[in-house]
Amino acid sequence: MSIQEEAEVAQNEAAQTEAPATVAVPVNLVRLSKVGQRPDFLDYLVQLWDRRSFIVFDARARVQSGNDKHHLGSAWLVLTPLLNGLSFYLIFGLFLGTSKGIDNFIGYLIIGVFTFSMSTRSILGGAKSLTSNTSMIRAFQFPRASLPIAVNVRELFSNVPVTIVMLLFVIFTAPAEEITWRWLLIIPAILLQFLFNLGIGMLLAPVLLKVPDLSHLLSFIIRFLMYVSAVFFAEERFGKYPVVRTIMDFNPIYQVIKIIRDSVLYDTTPSWRAWGVLGLWALGSVGAGLFVFWRGEESYGRV
Amino acid sequence: MVVDDISVVYRTKNKTEGRTNARTSVLKNLRGLRRGESTVRTTALSKISFVANQGDSIGIIGRNGSGKSTLMKVLAGLIIPDTGTVYASSNPILLGVNAALISSISGAQNIRLGCLAMGMSHAEIDAKFDDIVEMSGLEHEIFHPMNSYSSGMGARLRFAIAAAVDPEILLIDEALNTGDAQFKDRSKARMEKVTAQAGTVFVVSHSLGTITGMCNRAIWIDKGDFIMDGTPDEVAKEYRNFIWRMNEGNADYGRQIRAELMASLPEMRTTLLPNGWKRSR
């Protein structure tokens, strides 16, 4: 109260004299704080945690409303990857014969396509989370990282029925696979994949906001990523090109797909190396993503 | 709330050469791009400083494009100014007409989403939900998706949501012009409640009647310059005088008024007291 009174008095005095005098306004930082200034990194994380119910609610509301305008509604969550799998099966399995040397090619293909499509949607959604939510950003003051997180949580939610369909496919298409404890390993694998997608989305979102042209390039990058993830052919296909093999070895999405295939289809416990590559990518990208996103926090409101 | 020397410069693309001319060659466009000719800098606010006290309700007037909405966004912390700082005792809440929510979900879900975005908990929202619905004046429509609402209904819902947090500093950007008479009364009562709780209200409006009727102080900005600060009646009088001169074609005299008023403003200088330092008084 005191500073404001003082400022008022000073202002009144200046107004009385009618001369352009200088008004001194002391700003007491104990009572007043800067508006819109980004908090410390740790405070930012705490603020994000405080908004967790916002993130979850936003994600839920969008899962429900996302398919409202379609007649089949949420069935498209399952139908889209299904049709995708079918078309890849026709082209690569039957016509081009990439199925050679792969046990249970349908299962192999379904796992590849379903798992990869989750990353595609999450990364694209996360990258566009700032550009597509400008009205939200201009309306409310909240930690902006809630937006890419909400998009990724939504994809995680909508991925649950997709994963169940994927497993049903594996069970009911010949040759049937035995259900072992290893099936549970897909849960940590998908969670690590979620973290990786989130981090990449948060790294891309500020860049996309500054350079919108990049959104045109993004689909090509995703396509390249798909080819080095061995979605619909055996990884030995690239045996002749050691460079591509190395890229694949360090490609986290390929490692997720491999972990799920190993544990669901081939009854082998995934290697520690696969977990290591995936885990490092997941934690690294989420850490870097949060940091980069936080650094640009103040700039997202003005476009 | 202390506003210290804020300036905002927008960089936009200058499209005068683009479509209005019959043809422009791609090459020329590229060349322009390289030299950076196509971007222009628009000063939306230049060096604005003032102090707003608790209990003030401040009306902001000015012609279109004079930076009123930009000022509101800066005060709310949604835009960070190029220079200067805004200090406030609490986080200001902006009510704007173009603050869209998610149009595909229902009004009720939007209430929850908006309140959560402002940092309320589910329990707090449950307690206030009926008040918000009543404030918005929506009945069964609250469960319809928001894209079926009229623009007035949407604006009322946004106002009700933003007013739900009991903000200490409330910024209203032309939101009052959209509602009907019943809504105007409600929102006026809401504003008075905020000022009565020793809060601060800013109102942007083109209706001088609204400002003189609701505010105890008025600020006039024009093309990003801070022109005048005083009681609503004084400022409205000078503003009307200025607009009248401009419309009459006597622009020079108008500019003279503007310059004289600007020159009579006292300069403000802020001194920062360090954080944690207690003043002995």
Residue B12 has pLDDT above 90, yes or no: no
What is the per-residue pLDDT across B144-189, written as a single tens digit (0 to 9) for each? Answer: 887 788 877 887 787 788 777 777 788 877 766 666 777 777 777 7
Q: Please list, in sequence order, all residues whose beta carbon lies within 8 angstroms of the beta carbon of residue A227, skipping any fewer than 6 positions away.
A: none
Q: How confident is the model at residue A102 (pLDDT cuts 50, 70, 90)?
A: confident
Q: Is A212 part of the contact surface with chain B (CB cutoff 8 Å)?
A: no
Q: CA of B262: how far to CAs of B5, B255, B266, in Å?
A: 15, 10, 9
Looking at domain B2-31+38-92+167-272, its CATH class is: alpha beta
Q: Around A200, how many Cα atoms within 13 Å sit in the side-chain half-sphere?
A: 20
Taking an 8 Å cut-off on Cβ atoms, the answer to whether A36 and B76 are in contact is yes
A65 touches chain B (CB under 8 A): yes
Give A118-156 pLDDT, tens digit per residue.
899 899 999 998 888 877 787 777 888 999 999 999 899
How do residues B179-229 score in pLDDT, each as one tens digit?
A: 677 777 777 777 777 777 767 888 888 778 778 877 888 888 888 888 888
Give the gyration radius of chain B's Cα atoms.
22
CA atoms A290, A292, A297, A300: torsion sign: negative
For residue B229, the chain A residue with the least C-alpha distance is A15
Examine the pLDDT at A55 and tell me if it is beyond 70.
yes
3-class secondary-structure state, position B59 = strand
Structure-token pair, residue B200: 């601060």
Query: Of all residues in chain A, what percent carry a pLDDT higher than 90?
Result: 21
Q: How many helices (H) and strands (E) does chain A have?
A: 12, 2
Enumerate the residues of chain A whose CB falls inside 8 A of the CB of residue B39.
none
| Nearest chain A CA: its distance from B243 CA (Å) | 24
Cβ A289 vs Cβ A203: under 8 Å: yes
Q: How far apart are CA A266 and CA A244, in angstroms?
A: 24
Q: Using an 8 Å Cβ cutoff, are A66 and A121 in contact?
A: no
**Interface membership of A94 toward B (CB under 8 Å):** no
Q: How many helices (H) and strands (E) does chain B have?
A: 9, 10
d(CA B77, CA B73): 6
* Residue pair B214/B203 in contact by the 8 Å Cβ criterion: yes
Contacts of B115 (CB under 8 A, 6+ apart): B124, B125, B128, B132, B161, B164, B165
Cα–Cα nearest to B231, from B39, B9, B59, B2? B59
Whether B49 and B87 have beta carbons less than 8 Å apart is answered as no
The torsion defined by the Cα of B106, B111, B116 and B119, in degrees rounded to 10, comes to 160
